[in-house]
């Protein structure tokens, strides 16, 4: 709990500093979306950049929950990286605001953002990969309960 509280306090501080920068970068990157076919390429590039960091967040969160001794080391290593990721996420424009919100939600909830925890998060606009897994998991859980 303390790790998450420290992370949230630092994120609030850095987000407040980045608001003017975010406005400028959103405007500049918004102009680039006027180029035909640039938006899907941009989203693909951002997804490729985000994927290893998303895996890092989920794996360190899982490790944080399972191995008590590694908690201080994981907190010292992960909090600065999560602040940088959140700053990157804030500065980079994204045509899909729901995707940006969902990634910020995962960063905010560290160290409680392992795969098991992510399945239960209140994502908006059916976040692509997780949405199907959550619906499938919920459907199979209810089927098992009904059968007795």
pTM above 0.75, yes or no: no
- How far CA 3 is from CA of 10, 63, 64, 86, 110, in Å, comes to 11, 14, 10, 16, 8
pLDDT > 50? residue 28: yes
C-alpha 140/C-alpha 101 separation (Å) is 28
pLDDT > 60? residue 142: no
- Tens digit of pLDDT for each residue in 30-64? 788 788 888 788 888 888 888 899 889 888 888 98
User: Whole domain around residue 94: which residue ranges?
Assistant: 2-147
Residues 8 and 113 sit within 8 Å (Cβ to Cβ): no
Split into its structural domains, the chain has a count of 1
pLDDT > 70? residue 90: yes
> And the tokens for 148?
């007795």
pLDDT > 80? residue 143: no
């Amino acid at each position: 709990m303390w790790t998450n509280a420290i992370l949230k306090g630092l994120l609030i501080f850095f987000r407040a500093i980045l608001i003017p920068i975010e406005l400028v970068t959103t405007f500049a990157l918004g102009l680039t979306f006027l180029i035909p076919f640039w938006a899907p390429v941009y989203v693909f590039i951002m997804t490729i950049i985000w994927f290893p960091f998303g895996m890092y967040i989920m794996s360190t969160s899982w490790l944080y929950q399972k191995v008590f001794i590694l908690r201080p080391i994981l907190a010292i290593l992960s909090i600065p990286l999560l602040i940088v990721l959140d700053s990157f996420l804030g500065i980079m424009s994204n045509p899909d605001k729901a995707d940006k919100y969902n990634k910020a939600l995962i960063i905010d909830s560290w160290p409680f953002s392992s795969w098991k925890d992510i399945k239960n998060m209140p994502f908006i606009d059916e976040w692509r990969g997780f949405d199907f897994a959550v619906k499938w998991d919920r459907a199979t859980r209810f089927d098992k309960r009904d059968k007795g």
